[in-house]
Structure 1
């Protein structure tokens, strides 16, 4: 691709992303001040210069102010765009702009009328600023309007929660979709003042650092398990288990049903035992388009446990956990388990006490999670305190995407008396 600007040099990451952004959907995401916005806008201008005819070109942002600040302040800056900036004609707050001789529609997605503007459009191209701030119905409508042959969309975003719909349904499925994306870190921008970079890195720690400096999709603000570190706490193989502690169950009919198996390992070389979430069974009735009965859940759990490899040696299968701890609201399911020969225990659902129990285990590196426990791992980084309730003096988590987390909390908090004495380190 030939250069479209006569401005500052581009970083290797910017050059690669600009040249490689040939898919229907193209996303530039990552850290603040990493160069992703400049790269995406250079690519957008290049696209407009050769965009297909017969359809509208659209710029979308959360508000008119953010569109003006994040997009047009850059496009109209000669220091960034060079002489091309003179071919950008826009008045702050106007519904249209002229870029490279083409009319471009400006739409702020927080306006209830904005989706109506999309409904009648046939689009030849779109640019979306801060894609994670766009409501999902609006995003889906925009994609449906990109019907002109050769139409492309370009977007930017900072990382959000790891279970955000944009990441789960689009970035994580790029291999299934006509979608390319590029992850930018602060270090991908070599043109920043080194003193500024050093100061910025020093100002952020923990999850904030991972999100704003490294550009990772982690929950930062209000994270409940902010001590969680996948590099430390996620494992791909299990040690032998001294005991299979139990099965924690969060019951769901329309919401997902989650069962989480935990074991206590034999002492390691330092004399330390740990609890491992070793396996997970999940049934999402909405995704499967079929609800299961209590009897079907019970039968499915028995079949699942029978197929789990025991960790005592190759060729041994079948796990019989000591405890079966069940969502206390699932009275009918608890009754069904009794009928089927289980010995279920209603969970202690003291939410904050249970959260502290799990947090203490994570902080002490006494809880690790097998990589196959996808539900728990998807949810842990997004588990956050409810800001609205915090304003009222209440400590309460946001009740969203927490089914596997609830299953684990039920099990660990209810069975403390069984595992707590085992966590003391043995003499070396």
Structure 2
């Protein structure tokens, strides 16, 4: 049985038979990139030890980098433990020794990671989730790798084609800077059923191009490209098992409250709501109380940009909570719901929604993914409600799983 896919074997053969300074693997999620670099990391540790022996260096240093300690553990160290039973012993700084090489963990998610990358010479580095790294920290890591024969490997999912990682380190294939691109179909260990299911569930446009095809594409045009009025607008509503709400504050631009219902099959519906301009907080309190009287003491997931309004809702005994405002993750969650036909809109429910849904677009010519701050008021409230409630449900499920595992251990 083959241990590697054809693409993984191609990359590993290149690394084995060629020298390089920076080598990157980028492309679709679940395409096998990180596993290749985890194997490469172990091989590099052996190679660094051999170089150090020739140079009489007692304890050479190597950088293991990721956005945070959690991401390094989840993406790399846990996989090494599961596959090779490697369980490092950490010092008080989070460093560990592997095959006589001291591995220094560097966190790249913010500029604060710079202090961990300074002041020493490294014989190589492995940078996970490179597109999420702070550029200054990423380049400082490379500058640290001045030990003899030092090599840097990185992996990343695609981002905007104007991203510094794409412009500086992809497509060069010269002067020791090499890269390989992966698509989801390259992972032949995944079942055909799984691959087809993921493709069917991935929203069209940016998300499909990046997550499935592994392309560094511009997020341009309409955001919710899978929305179809013939499918997603309904006149009749089923019986709901619960309701919850989203709130986007506004004055000059539209403020909005949306009410989402969920049936016993997990389908969700925009069932009620309002969008208005030039209304004071007293007016919004009155509207929220009307919805509370109609739908019960439901949770209102509110924009935290106006904490005084959130507090006012709470003082009025309205169950307001700060929404999770992660823009891209939230948009992807809503887009996926439309793609899978899990989200429906009651026809005519909030007139402003139907103005926004086709005009909510990505910001053109931007160096990062961001929507235009136009036609987004009802859609922001809807995103706050759906994504925040989903995250809360996920956490609840994880807590239940932990309790079950604890019970199983106690009664074994």
Gap regions ≥5 residues in structure 2 = 226-357, 381-412
Residues 193, 92 of structure 1: alpha-carbon distance in 2 compared, 3 angstrom cutoff: farther
Decide whether the 8 Å contact of 2:118 with 2:140 is kept in 1: yes
Q: CA deviation at 1:165?
A: 0.6
**1:20 alignment partner, one of 14, 25, 50:** 14
Cα pair 2:111 2:136 within 8 Å, conserved: no
CA drift of 1:94 comes to 6.0
8 Å CA contact 1:130, 1:155 repeated in 2: yes
Runs of 4+ in 1 over 3 A off after TM superposition: 90-94, 110-113, 223-228, 378-384, 386-394
| Residues 120 and 390 of structure 1: CA distance in aligned 2, closer, same or farther (over 3 Å) | farther
Distance in 2 of aligned mates of 1:388 and 1:69: 37
Counterparts of 2:166 and 2:148, CA distance in 1: 26
Cα distance 1:181–1:165, how it changes in 2: closer, same or farther (>3 A)? same
Gaps of 5+ in 1: 1-6, 79-84, 229-355, 360-377, 395-428
User: CA-to-partner distance for each residue in 1:354-379, whole Å, 9 max, x for gaps?
Assistant: xx99x9xxxxxxxxxxxxxxxxxx93
Distance 1:187 1:385 in 2: 29
Q: Taking structure 1 as reference, are residues 166 and 392 closer, same or farther at Cα in structure 2, changes over 3 Å only? A: farther
Q: CA deviation at 1:133?
A: 0.7
- Is the CA contact (8 Å cut-off) linking 2:29 and 2:157 kept in structure 1? yes
Choose which of 51, 63, 68 in structure 2 pairs with 1:63: 68
How many residue pairs align between the two structures?
Answer: 237
Q: Give the 3 Å change call, closer, same or farther, for CA 379–94 of structure 1 in structure 2.
A: same
Deviations 1:21-79 (A, max 9, x none): 3311010111111111101111111111111324410101111111110111111113x
Alpha-carbon RMSD: 3.6
Q: Which of 3, 9, 20 does residue 9 from structure 1 map onto?
A: 3
Give the superposition deviation at 1:88: 4.3
Q: Which residue of 1 aligns with 2:141?
A: 142
Contact 2:173 2:179 in 1 (8 A): no
Compute the displacement of 1:177 (Å): 3.6
CA displacement at 1:8 relative to structure 2: 6.1
- Name the structure 2 match of 1:189: 187
1:244 aligns to what?
none
Which residue does 1:72 correspond to in 2? Answer: 77
C-alpha distance 92-224 of structure 1, shift in aligned 2 (>3 A): farther
Separation in structure 1 between the aligned mates of residue 217 and residue 91 of structure 2, nearest angstrom: 34
Whether the aligned pair in 2 keeps the contact of 1:87 and 1:101 (CA below 8 Å) is: no
Alignment deviations for residues 225-265 of structure 1 (CA, whole Å, 9 cap, x no partner): 5699xxxxxxxxxxxxxxxxxxxxxxxxxxxxxxxxxxxxx
For residues 194-343 of structure 1, the aligned pairs below 5 Å read 194-207=192-205, 208-220=207-219, 223-224=220-221
- CA-CA distance at 1:383 after TM superposition: 6.6
The answer on whether the counterparts of 2:160 and 2:367 sit within 8 Å (CA) in structure 1 is yes
The aligned counterpart of 1:385 is: 371
The 3 A distance-change label for structure 1 pair 50 and 387 is farther
